[in-house]
Structure 1
Amino acid sequence: MRTDEYDIVIAGGGMIGISLALALAPLGQRIAVVEAIERSAPLQPSFDDRSTALSRSSQRTFEALGLWPAIRAASTAIRHIHVSDRGRFGFSHIDAAEQNVEALGYVVINRVLGTVLNDALLAADNVDVICPARISRVQTTERSVTVSADSNDDVRQLQCRLLVAADGANSGVREMLGIGAQHVDYGQHAVIGNLQPGQPHNNIAYERFTNDGPIAILPTADDRVTFVWTLQPERADNVLSLSDEEFTEQLQQAFGFRLGRFSKMGKRARYPLSLSKANSLVVGRGVLVGNAAHGLHPVAAQGFNLGLRDVASLADCIADALADGAGDPGDATVLERYAEWRRADQKKLVHFTDGLVRLFGSRRRSLRLLRDVGMLGFDLVPGVRRLFARHTMGLAGELPRLSRGVPLK
């Protein structure tokens, strides 16, 4: 059996895996991306009609990769964020002008973002895309990693110096590397879709906490909005069985009339929500990025942005090693630096999103009072809003070059 040699093999060709390949491509490494599901397949979850909220640091990363003009043309700016708790007196808001930025973030449909990323990938002559193919075996030695990529009745052997698991929260490659993970099932499902508000969205993103769960409403193109409605599984079953008109009325009652009366409901879908956290980011010549390292609740819309900072940090570490003449992207010192760099950011976001779910999901009177006080204090205590905004924009802490908008080469 023939063995193809690469410097880096990336398991997973979703948005994070492709972004990593594009970040590393200018460094002259020979890269393979192995993806199990074809880009155009209905089951491809990375490029569906869901929307992603891109943080400021994600915007800067795509600027550094030369992709931002194409993404920006299909994106909608978030200039205000409004947070409220249904039936309670506290609310909070963040304003882009107050933070001296053009936008707090941008909303883009995954399908559109995926098209931009895939077009750029096709133009990268040092990146091979092996798809559809699934990694079925991983063998590691001190100097290399060999993987078996199964495609229909064909099996290819790929040898590399670094294997990156970017294949999602249920990462098979993570398991093959021997890295365990902690999983928390929230017992919730996200019901997603898009609709027409009765009033212009004015580039405001809403996070509305209800007894059923949070409702996020994000501004999108053509003055429509997308929604993520978190519900108990039985409640999700119930609302998905309703007609468009009945579903719209239920969502309207839960959210209120800040955007006028809802209409023109688009296609609806659902997916289960959980928290996952890998026990380690690195083992041997294997490393984890994105949801393979950490899968978050969508309550704060931070999952993709956290994964893209993984990408930027790993690319930074590899670029520095190559510039120093080490020439080995899988060297232990490179991967240890990456793991140390990412630990604090990942831990912070995991605790933050999990804490929000538990705080606003509780019906205990003491916690409801704490929520009211917290949201009032958020607006009244000097400096709190600015610090929170910097974290949500992905600008807190030591940022890698790509997250600052600086190309690696």
Structure 2
Amino acid sequence: MDQSNPYTAYHPRMTISPPFAPEGNVLVVGGGLVGASLAIALDAAGCHVTLVEAAAPRADAQPSYDERNLALARATVNGLTAIGVWPLAAAQATPIQHIHVSRAGEFGSARLDAARHGVDALGWTLPARELGAALLRRLDACQRLVRLAPASLTGLAKCADGWRAQIKTPDGAQHIDAALLVGADGTESFVRAQLGIQADVHDYQQTLFVCTVTPERDPANRAWERFSDEGPIAMLPLAERRCGLVLTVDSEMAGAVTDLNDADFIALAQRRFGWRLGRLNRPGKRHPYAIKRVAARGLIAPRAVLVGNAAQTVHPIGAQGFNLGLRDALTLAELVAAAADPGSPDLLERYAARRAPDREGTMAMSHDLVRFACMPEPWLAPFRSLALLAYDRVPPLQQALARRGMGFRGEPPRAVLERLP
């Protein structure tokens, strides 16, 4: 391991002594990308974990293992390596070695280069379905984990040392007692509602369309983020010289864009993105997603905690959603692995404090960036260009941008890095 490189992965063998007794069980509700990652990390730490998954354990049936192409930060790949998932997915991943950020009609741009920061890649792109398949394979190898799938949480009752959860399964209702309840059940979290934790919601009135395209020119491991009055558009490098297209439109236009034929959709994307990669061709099946920001007003309750989209759903600009959620999961697993009681108030308070700088900074960045970069007021143009030029050419700003883009913000879990610069 390169001790001089601040971004080198640290892959601890998580242990716990003594192992949790059955009454120390951790119940994770939600088997999506973040919930599955948390269950794997806790199992590796020697915890007794029950994972409640809404869908049967098949990659093509998981609701969050869809056609999106994920941009995984470097810290995320370090963390997935630490829990044994990345080796099962790496062959399908494409490195991001360059990032180019610009605004249509304005002169400024910011460029990030992996070599400039002493790493082989700033991150990697991977189809969400491939990551889902890798997680399911790794779940199959877990030793202590109990998986209930398909199953759903239908009720919660507080008891002396935790929660009694009522679970609906094809074989009938079950009751599970847990010392710690984890809500990893997505944006419309049932756990969050049952705990009485309120959430602030901001509807961006935007719809995201994702698909694959084949550009005329090789993207050469470069990712592009392009802003305009109409919203952001991104291109992510994929295998076989393809790109993952991420196109944002006003929600009132979503129906019309859905109805476009392939030629007209490509023409729209070409106009919005430009010709840096030459002519775009061969669009894949399009998938629309309504965009809203949902922020829980608290992360913890007595013997309960929220992670991933149940805690915060951010604008997809900058591709921070899963990256942020995985840092939630690995931080929680790190704290639980070192504790005698997984649901103690002290542990949960430390979790909330650890996550606050990363969570708040990432949420503010994604929210403010989409507003500032896409506002149509002409007087903003020179300020935006100067800001991009500063990030491109001022070394401390460039370093900060790269560090945060690679997922090293606040006090990250030890599983994602050895030390910070």
TM range (shorter): over 0.9
Partner of residue 360, structure 1: 373
How far apart, CA to CA, are the structure 2 residues paired with 1:336 and 1:364? 43
Q: Please list the CA deviations of residues 56-99 of structure 1 after superposition, one character each: whole Å capped at 9, or x if unmatched.
A: 11111112112222221110000000001011111111000001
- Give the drift of 1:264: 1.0
How far apart, CA to CA, are the structure 2 residues paired with 1:107 and 1:405? 23
- Asked whether 1:248 is paired with 2:266, we answer yes
- Give the drift of 1:136: 1.1
- Give the drift of 1:381: 2.3
Aligned residue pairs, count:
398
- Asked whether 1:219 is paired with 2:232, we answer no
- Secondary structure, in 3 states, of the residue corresponding to 2:305? strand
How far apart, CA to CA, are the structure 2 residues paired with 1:184 and 1:43? 29
Aligned residue type for 2:85: L
Contact 2:58 2:136 in 1 (8 A): no
- Secondary structure, in 3 states, of the residue corresponding to 2:270? helix
How far apart, CA to CA, are the structure 2 residues paired with 1:99 and 1:380? 14
Aligned residue type for 2:357: A
Partner of residue 324, structure 1: none
Partner of residue 135, structure 2: 117
How far apart, CA to CA, are the structure 2 residues paired with 1:189 and 1:94? 27
- Give the drift of 1:5: 6.0
- Secondary structure, in 3 states, of the residue corresponding to 1:248? helix
How far apart, CA to CA, are the structure 1 residues paired with 2:175 and 2:370? 43
How far apart, CA to CA, are the structure 2 residues paired with 1:401 and 1:105? 18
What TM-score do you get using the length of structure 2 for normalisation? 0.91
- Secondary structure, in 3 states, of the residue corresponding to 2:115? coil
Contact 2:212 2:284 in 1 (8 A): yes
Name structure 2 gaps, 5 residues minimum. Answer: 1-21
31-40 vs 108-117, greater mean Cα deviation: 31-40
Contact 1:39 1:47 in 2 (8 A): no
- Asked whether 1:397 is paired with 2:415, we answer no
- Secondary structure, in 3 states, of the residue corresponding to 1:13? coil
Partner of residue 165, structure 1: 183
85-94 vs 61-70, greater mean Cα deviation: 61-70
- Asked whether 1:258 is paired with 2:276, we answer yes
224-233 vs 149-158, greater mean Cα deviation: 149-158
Aligned residue type for 1:50: R
Partner of residue 159, structure 2: 141
Partner of residue 352, structure 2: 339
Aligned residue type for 2:155: R
Residues 292-303 of structure 1: pairs in structure 2 closer than 5 A? 292-303=310-321
Contact 1:6 1:158 in 2 (8 A): no
Partner of residue 399, structure 2: 386
What TM-score do you get using the length of structure 1 for normalisation? 0.94
Equivalent of 1:83, from 60, 81, 101? 101
Equivalent of 1:64, from 55, 74, 82? 82
Q: Please list the CA deviations of residues 30-71 of structure 1 after superposition, one character each: whole Å capped at 9, or x if unmatched.
A: 111111223448773311111111111111111211222222
How far apart, CA to CA, are the structure 2 residues paired with 1:185 and 1:44? 25
- Asked whether 1:47 is paired with 2:65, we answer yes
Contact 2:358 2:411 in 1 (8 A): no
How far apart, CA to CA, are the structure 1 residues paired with 2:71 and 2:405? 11
Partner of residue 16, structure 1: 34
- Secondary structure, in 3 states, of the residue corresponding to 2:133? helix
Name structure 1 gaps, 5 residues minimum. Answer: 322-326
Contact 1:8 1:163 in 2 (8 A): yes
9-18 vs 312-321, greater mean Cα deviation: 312-321
How far apart, CA to CA, are the structure 2 residues paired with 1:144 and 1:396? 32
Contact 1:285 1:330 in 2 (8 A): yes
How far apart, CA to CA, are the structure 1 residues paired with 2:383 and 2:73? 28
How far apart, CA to CA, are the structure 2 residues paired with 1:129 and 1:356? 39
Partner of residue 299, structure 2: 281
Partner of residue 14, structure 2: none
How far apart, CA to CA, are the structure 1 residues paired with 2:86 and 2:54? 27
Contact 2:103 2:226 in 1 (8 A): yes
How far apart, CA to CA, are the structure 2 residues paired with 1:405 and 1:136? 41
How far apart, CA to CA, are the structure 2 residues paired with 1:273 and 1:334? 33
Q: Percent identity?
A: 39
- Give the drift of 1:395: 1.6
- Secondary structure, in 3 states, of the residue corresponding to 2:218? coil
- Give the drift of 1:122: 1.1
How far apart, CA to CA, are the structure 2 residues paired with 1:181 and 1:92? 34
Aligned residue type for 1:304: F
300-309 vs 142-151, greater mean Cα deviation: 142-151
How far apart, CA to CA, are the structure 2 residues paired with 1:156 and 1:163? 16
Q: Please list the CA deviations of residues 257-309 of structure 1 after superposition, one character each: whole Å capped at 9, or x if unmatched.
A: 10111111111010100111111111001101101111000111111111111
- Secondary structure, in 3 states, of the residue corresponding to 1:46? coil
Aligned residue type for 1:160: A
Contact 1:35 1:130 in 2 (8 A): yes
Contact 2:59 2:136 in 1 (8 A): no
- Secondary structure, in 3 states, of the residue corresponding to 1:98? helix
Equivalent of 2:326, from 286, 308, 313? 308
How far apart, CA to CA, are the structure 2 residues paired with 1:25 and 1:200? 41
- Give the drift of 1:137: 0.7
